[in-house]
Structure 1
Amino acid sequence: MPLSPGQIIKGARASYRLLHPLKGKTVFKAEILGARDLTQRWAVVKTATGSLERSALQREYQTYQNPFVAESPFIRSLHEGVGDMESLSAAHVVGVAPPCLVLEWMDTELRLVPSRAFRGGELPKHVARQALKALWVLYYIDSAHTGICLLSWWSGYSDRANRGLDVNLNNILISNLNSPVPVVKLADLGMVTPEGFNSQRLQSPPCRAPEVWKNQGVSHASDIWSLGVTLVHWLLGKSIFGARDKRVEGLTEAYCIAKLERLVGPLGELPGDLSVETREEFRMAALLRDMDMPPPGRGKLIDVRSLREELEEIQDPVVPPGLIDFIESLIVVDMEKRPIAHDALKHPYLDISSESRNGVSVVAN
């Protein structure tokens, strides 16, 4: 049965009174009662009812069993699993409370933080540092954050079955926002995927890396790309990558590829073993990329400039040049030239020289 307000979930570390839903009837804010070793007042209780959601919840629980993930201060903590987590793979039984994950409560998510108030200060540095450290943990265990889920944070893509879950504005969580050192953590580990997974094309179209468009699989490199895109979307307050502004019928994938090339330049040669369907997407993208809006004089069908120009146009306040440089260092078309998290942390904008000299521990603050 789904969760409901007022319900009490009894775990080994505490009991949890459900307060109000955060997502449908499966994710709730909860009050921690009678805690044995938990100091927070609030928690997030998360369950699943649909088969794909149950698989994702079980995968999230299993990912947390890795000690590098469980002990990382850069990833939202799992307090405990309540119920038989192995039974998540079985069909849901009507009238029986499903297993739950009890997760660390965080104050807000990056999506809800206005960039205007913070982009000229230290917050973008904190967000980038901590997200990169979280991705370094996943890289260390040969995993990518990206996967497939039923619903995506991006509502502009109509194919619900193939929406991806990336590093994005919804799963970068923040507490103590106005403190000198806000706490920033990465969440949503239910879609963590083995490095190189290529059985189907992953990532949501706005955050999809060039190599993923070419059906070369997801990796740490594609996570780095999606972090760069996430920072761009936060600064702009809207999705500039993807097909949200599409003005043609169909051709969603081709439009996304065409816009990507308008923003960052050519995506390079296509692999020789690319499918006919994907080659057709790239062929149509080449036509859309430079197409004019009818009638003549109305401008381009895809009305964007280079990524740097788009970021430099933001005013009141402007985006610091160092932040633009840092974002461009992440959004590199050639995945072989894109930095891994450890190297991205050395960028001058982040100003973490001591960590650059000493290396970055996957569990250290």
Structure 2
Amino acid sequence: MKNECIPGNLMKPLLKFLLTGLDYLHTVCHIIHTDLKPDNILLGIEDEEIISELIKEEEKDPTPAKLYDNRCIYAHRNFGNLRGPPGRPKIADFGLAVRSPDDGTYNHPIQPDLLQAPEVILRAGWSYSADIWNLGVMIWDLLEGRSLFGASDPETNTYSAGLHLDEMISLFGPPPKQLLLRGGSATSYFTSDGNPVNRETQEARGTGLESTITTLFGEDKELFLDFVTRMLQWLPENRPTARELLKDPWLCS
């Protein structure tokens, strides 16, 4: 899956499969994926006849390829428009996955920059619920066809964790003090009063996600906002589990 716009009526059934898989990882395998992103979600082919057609086309007109560092790299082949609903999505690439720690949390950096949970940035200890935040941001990105967060330093054009936290504040309001107190790197971004370092100390008020959603409308939009807001909570312990999310009204509507 690439970071392109996916309509809500297609997102819901796909998301049910992903949440079912994530629940299995968390509750049965006791594994935290840590790297949920569109590149790591595989969709089954919608029509097996495509494979037969591909073989015939390759025999007739082979795809251009070249050797690079002892690897054969093939040019992209366009398969055209979807011929029907895609196959079941699958969570892939467990190269960075970890088993649940004995003491309850980990503290090392994980997740793609713009999908990082606040407890990961703040080094406040993360566990299964980091995957829930990760998935929540990814869903928003796929529905809107763009990134919820920018977090790019205009001077260096590189990722800035401080700007990322600023953007979270603008959407969700200031982080709870209890999260900052347990964050090993919180003092790099916030004062003892909970205000952003080197920024205006006026209490930030969250503008909410409502104005950022442009692809859903009416009751469907309201239900989605309730759904994704449950996932994008500052405090990890306030986020629902994958199994709980499967019962959410938006997915069942």
Q: Name the TM-score, length of structure 1 as normaliser.
A: 0.49
- How many angstroms does 1:206 deviate by? 1.3
1:137 aligns with 24
Pair 1:225-2:117 in alignment: no
Quick one: distance in 2 between partners of 1:174 and 1:288? 45
Quick one: which amino acid aligns to residue 310 of structure 1?
A: T
SS at 1:185 equivalent: strand
Which ranges of structure 1 fall in alignment gaps of 5 or more residues?
1-108, 147-165, 292-303, 353-365
2:92 aligns with 187
How has the CA–CA distance of structure 1 residues 178 and 318 changed in structure 2, closer, same or farther, with 3 Å as cutoff?
A: farther
1:37 aligns with none
1:337 aligns with 238
Aligned residues: 205
Looking at secondary structure, tell me which structure has more strand per residue: 1
1:58 aligns with none
Please show how residues 1-365 of structure 1 align to structure 2 within 5 Å: 109-111=1-3, 113-115=4-6, 118-119=7-8, 121=9, 123-140=10-27, 141-146=29-34, 166-175=35-44, 176=46, 179=84, 182-195=87-100, 196-244=104-152, 246-248=153-155, 252-269=160-177, 270-272=179-181, 274-275=183-184, 277-283=185-191, 286-287=196-197, 305-311=207-213, 314-315=214-215, 318=217, 320-321=220-221, 322-351=223-252
1:49 aligns with none
- How many angstroms does 1:285 deviate by? 7.3
Report if aligned partners of 1:254, 1:285 keep a CA contact under 8 Å in 2: no
Looking at secondary structure, tell me which structure has more helix per residue: 2
Report if aligned partners of 2:106, 2:126 keep a CA contact under 8 Å in 1: yes
How has the CA–CA distance of structure 1 residues 239 and 274 changed in structure 2, closer, same or farther, with 3 Å as cutoff?
A: same
Report if aligned partners of 1:125, 1:350 keep a CA contact under 8 Å in 2: yes
Q: Name the TM-score, length of structure 2 as normaliser.
A: 0.69
- How many angstroms does 1:318 deviate by? 4.2
Describe the superposition over 1:265-313 as per-residue Cα deviations: whole angstroms up to 9, x where unpaired: 22211454544x541223497157659xxxxxxxxxxxx94322211xx
Report if aligned partners of 1:197, 1:217 keep a CA contact under 8 Å in 2: yes
Query: What is the root-mean-square deviation of aligned Cα atoms in Å?
Result: 3.1
- How many angstroms does 1:217 deviate by? 3.0
- How many angstroms does 1:110 deviate by? 4.5
Quick one: which amino acid aligns to residue 225 of structure 2?
A: I
Report if aligned partners of 1:205, 1:242 keep a CA contact under 8 Å in 2: no
How has the CA–CA distance of structure 1 residues 130 and 266 changed in structure 2, closer, same or farther, with 3 Å as cutoff?
A: same
Which ranges of structure 2 fall in alignment gaps of 5 or more residues?
47-81
